[in-house]
Amino acid sequence: MKDFNVAILGCGTVGGGVARIMSELQEEISNRASRKINLRKIVELTPDSAAKRFSLPTDLFYGHGKNLTGEEAEHYIKEVLEAEDIDLVVETIGGSNDYIENLAVKVCEAKKHLVTANKALLAERGKAIFDTAKTNDVTVGFEAAVCGAIPIIKTIKESFTGDSIISLSGIMNGTSNYILSMMQNEGMEFEEALKLAQENGYAETDPTLDINGYDAGHKLVILLKLAFGVDIAMDELSIGGIENISREDIEFAEEINCKIKLICYAKKIDGKIYATVCPMMVKNSNFLSGVKGVTNAVRVVNKYSGKHILLGAGAGSFETASSIVADIVFAAKYSERGQVSYDKQSLDFIDASHFEFPYIMTFETADVPGITGLVTTSVGHQNINIDTVSHNRHKKDRATFSIATMPCTMLQIEKTIAEITNNNPDLLLSTPKVIPILY
């Protein structure tokens, strides 16, 4: 069988890790693919620094170690696309703009396999890429796009094809989990924990996508397509972040034997799919409550085979790169199969506000007698059963307390808050914080 040749576009944190692994394990991965796998060329704007950082020979790079202009990089990318001896292209440039989408489509149109870790690209613009790949009978490998080194994509696409997935839940963003772990275990405030995450390299200078839930949302959109055949846009998914989680929330979580985690959650019920990304109070009996630091974890519940747990590194240069290399080996060994991305199913995607969860409602009110009774009366008016009411925390002329409910919908919660506001306009000093409880 002829050699299988690879080009890498972008040699930063992930692309450099791929190049290093391919160089060090060439014989092993070639044996696994039953054909020789070669890293032919790398397109990188700053090849000298990349070569030094990842101990790579400069002759792997277009330009032989000289920095490239944008025009030069475009010229070399065109060479890659036109090269008859390049079988697969690794895209590790990043971004989800028109340029990157067009580049991914052009790779497939050139009848070259594509491997990427670009979750935002696949979540927001994946349809054109998958359709083009299918038309041209090439594979799209994207194991690294969801949870780094955890093989959740292959597990769903291959291992669970003889079963039916009922639910998915997991911690799919290491930055948010690190911040919440520091708040939980070290008593830190949010801003203090975020700063530490940035100092340790776990959070970007601009951490917005990590803390607002959208990075995790990209991953859940991809898993929804694979697990349930539901093709949804990002703006259809209910997404919340951790930026408003306070020490008081952490303390009340401890009172009810929970830990707060940013959770990706999806469940199939009677032909309907409910999904959300948001902070949840995770019961200590659920293994996700004990997942600390930057670790990622996914819990899958199947109809016949029951519960499955996948745990591991969700990010990092070599951790993510290892998943990309696995996709390269798979393409080299089974490329004649082509690629079927996911099978669409006739399931309805239902807004998360209709799904029943137990919730925590936290109220900040004027500190006057009878406040708790007024609030709990409105809760009862919406047919919501109360599980627990916390003691009031007093700060000057303010009181803060939390109510844990039995399962109800967010619509019921919203009606409760509306009733309280309408009947007592000056009672609530801020919008109540509402967090689901995950058992």
Amino acid 394: pLDDT: 79
Q: Give me the CATH number covering residue 425.
A: 3.30.70.260
Burial of 154 (0-12, 13-18, 19+ CB in 10 A): middle
**92 in the same domain as 185:** no
The verdict on 389 and 306 lying in the same domain is no
Q: Are residues 290 and 168 in the same domain?
A: yes
pLDDT 10s per residue in the chain (439 long)? 899 999 999 999 999 999 999 999 999 999 999 999 999 999 999 999 999 999 999 999 999 889 999 999 999 999 999 999 999 999 999 999 999 999 999 999 999 999 999 999 999 999 999 999 999 999 999 999 999 999 999 999 999 999 999 999 999 999 999 999 999 999 999 999 999 999 998 998 999 999 999 999 999 999 999 999 998 999 999 999 999 999 989 988 998 999 999 999 999 999 999 999 999 999 999 999 999 999 999 999 999 999 999 999 988 899 999 999 999 999 999 875 545 455 666 789 998 889 999 999 999 998 888 888 989 999 999 999 999 998 888 777 888 899 999 999 999 999 999 999 999 888 899 999 999 999 9
- CATH number of 265's domain: 3.30.360.10
Report d(CA 281, CA 264) in Å as an integer.
Answer: 13
Residues 103 and 235 placed together within one structural domain of the fold? no
Long-range Cβ contact pairs of 248-253 (< 8 A, separation 24 or more) = 248/362, 248/393, 248/400, 249/362, 249/433, 249/435, 250/183, 250/184, 252/360, 252/362, 252/390, 252/402, 253/184, 253/281, 253/360
Listed residue (259, 238, 249) closest to 354, CA to CA = 238
Range list of H helices, 168-316: 174-186, 190-199, 208-211, 214-228, 247-255
What letter does residue 385 receive in the DSSP assignment? Answer: P
- Nearest residue to 223 (alpha-carbon basis) of 289, 287, 150, 286: 150
Structure tokens belonging to residue 28: 């092993």
Residue 290 sits in the same domain as residue 369: no
Is 283 tagged catalytic? no
DSSP category for residue 11: -
The candidate with the shortest Cα–Cα distance to 146, out of 113, 175, 170, is: 170
* Whether residue 170 sits in one domain with residue 239: yes
Within this chain, do residues 156 and 239 fall inside the same structural domain, yes or no? yes
What range defines the domain where residue 290 resides? 152-313+346-352
- In degrees and rounded to multiples of 5, residue 174 shows phi and psi of -70, -35
Burial of 38 (0-12, 13-18, 19+ CB in 10 A): middle
Whether residues 131 and 266 fall in one domain? no
For position 337, what pLDDT does the model report? 55
Partners of 140 in beta bridges: 114
- Please indicate, yes or no, whether residues 329 and 265 belong to a single structural domain of this protein: no
Q: Is 123 found in the same domain as 189? A: no
Cβ neighbors of 183 (< 8 A, separation 6 or more) are 189, 190, 193, 245, 247, 250, 260
Provide the 8-state DSSP code for 237: S
* Whole-number pLDDT of residue 426: 86
Count of structural domains within the chain? 3
Rounded to whole angstroms, how far apart are CA atoms 239 and 176?
14
What's 30's domain CATH number?
A: 3.40.50.720
Q: Which two tokens mark 174?
A: 């290491």
**Half-sphere exposure (CA, 13 Å, Cβ side) for 52?**
5
pTM: 0.93
Whether 240 and 135 map to the same domain: the answer is: no
pLDDT at 352: 87
**DSSP, res 432:** P
Q: Are 307 and 326 in the same domain?
A: no
- The predicted pLDDT at position 272 comes to 94
Out of 41, 219, 259, 268, pick the active-site residue. 219
Q: What are phi and psi of 200, to 5 degrees?
A: -90, 0
